[in-house]
């Protein structure tokens, strides 16, 4: 999802992956970052400890860039 949205919009994507134990340390808690797994757009926490739908994330990206949000996908079977 991230590479696809990064190719579609002029944004920088930074992905961080560490062992689960790292996210439970006192040092990590001092950073005041959301609990992993998480998705942030700037300072906004989009999802924390759960999945996020691509349309929701794309909407947040568009708001941050000052663009119109895309129409919700129809989904379902063709």
Q: How many whole angstroms separate alpha carbon 68 and alpha carbon 17?
A: 31
pLDDT for 59: 92
CA dihedral 70, 71, 75, 78 (to 10 degrees): -110
pLDDT for 73: 64
For the chain, the domains span 2-65
Give every residue of the chain whose pLDDT is below 70, as ranges.
73-78
Question: Looking at the whole model, is its pTM more than 0.75?
Answer: no
pLDDT for 77: 52
């Amino acid at each position: 999802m991230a590479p696809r949205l990064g190719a579609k919009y002029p944004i920088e994507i930074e992905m961080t992956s560490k062992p689960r134990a790292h996210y439970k340390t006192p040092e990590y808690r001092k950073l005041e970052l959301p609990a992993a797994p998480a998705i942030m757009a700037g300072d906004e926490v989009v999802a924390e400890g759960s999945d996020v739908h691509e349309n929701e994330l794309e909407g947040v990206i568009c708001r941050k860039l000052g663009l119109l949000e895309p129409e919700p996908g129809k989904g379902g079977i063709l």
